[in-house]
Amino acid sequence: MTAETHIRPDSLSNGTGFYRNASNELCCEDTLLSDIAHRWGTPTYVYSRAAITERWNAYETAFGTAPHQICYAVKAASTKGILEVLAALGAGFDCVSGGEILRVLAAGGDPKKIVFSGVAKTPADIAFALTAGIKCFNIESPAELDRIANTARNLGLKAHISVRVNPNIDAHVDHHVATGLGDSKFGVKLTDVIALYQKAAELKEIEIEGIPCHIGSLVESTAPYMSEIEVLSVFVNELLDRGIALKHFDIGGGAGVAYKADEKTLEPSELIPAVVAQIRSLVKIPDIEILIEPGRSIIAQAGVLLTRVEYLKSGLFERNFCVVDASMTELVRPAMYGSHHEIEPVSPRSDIEAERLNIVGGVCESSDILGSDRELAVAPGDLLAIRTAGAYGMSMASTYNSRPLPMEVLVDGAVIRPLRRRMTALDLLSDEYDLGLGQACIPADEVKKLFTQAQTYSEPAEDHDNLP
């Protein structure tokens, strides 16, 4: 079954990916979310290819003719299928581990468009990145430069590097996601930047590429980026005077998106022209390439988490709970950051009264709350969509409480493309060793059989004809 043509643009995705049809059912492109849940179960992440493409194109359009490279921040959503979509669009990638580089290459990404950040690059990760031929390493400390130079020397290769600057700038974001303050673990302190570039210039194993920075996540205005550019441009110009001409200027990522209907997304059409103008006015290298590392602003609004209501229960102090099959293991942001996600029924009800509910999961932590004090009319078995969940959802999911990772699908028009197979708790045992310390009460093969059989069980519908 396919969705009807939408009649209402969605406030959280501009109607590109998600909307309600004429029957008021929540859809993704040409597909009913209820059809996805029926076929693939819950909890399931649903992504819209059209929404990802629209966000990517918004950045490309905003740059116009300015030399640039958009490096998608893999940490935001790292599933291979999503990276494939972006690689096909010509994306570069911002990686922070050897594993992320592996994912990008497996997805068809161009190693010459990979920048490698992160404060704890291991010798193995550095060797992998060097032999793969990435664009550059973003150096986070003097010791890291030594390690990269030594590895390059031992491998007979040249390492392309940039020195990530810690600008000591307050981007006015939550302290959990601030990365550009002076007390942050990220980047090189201001007083070490010039000396580190000069040292790098003297090493034959090193080629200097550019200068990067990252000030935080969920940045609401262009002002912090303007301040960042002011700080970095001083270094670019001083290095030029010292005979070191940088090739690119990397402003990092962090542009904020609307998690509520009344919030404002920092659009590429506002951010990028301001960035280009500021760099052109302050930097003495007129054709310097501009890099940006968006993650959340490309993928957040392109994804929802589908979940099903298991129980409704009341508590003390007039507190009522809606218990769902998703939890903080699928979406940790509310528990970790106190983040807000809109939560709405896939198929709204008119037959029951709405009530104020805490939407909670089944994990044994008091912080396992996906949404507090939400007015919802729901019953057990109903489907809910947790909105703006594409970024830092699946990529931060865990198997705590021996809960399997959620399913993921990509919607491409009327086509639903699974991005992984549905994991079960049996998969969690597959890479663990049996110590053989005792005889099992139930043989292992029988346990697997019992578990597998149980997965096909569904609760029978109530027989209203035979009720007393």
Paired with 383 in beta bridges are 308
End-to-end CA distance of the chain: 38
Burial of 69 (0-12, 13-18, 19+ CB in 10 A): buried
d(CA 454, CA 458): 9
Cα distances (angstroms) measured from residue 28 to each of 205, 303, 328: 50, 9, 24
Which residue among the candidates 71, 213, 322, 364 is catalytic per the annotation? 364
DSSP 134: -
Q: Which of 21, 93, 17 is nearest to 410 (CA)?
A: 17
Sign of CA dihedral 18, 20, 21, 23: positive
Neighbours of 318 (CB within 10 A): 7
27 as an active site residue: the answer is no
d(CA 60, CA 237): 27
| Helical spans, DSSP H, in 133-185 | 142-155
139 φ, ψ (degrees, to nearest 5): -70, 130
Phi, psi of 46 (to 5 degrees): -120, 125
- 52/85 Cα distance (integer angstroms): 8
For the annotated catalytic residues, the residue numbers are: 364
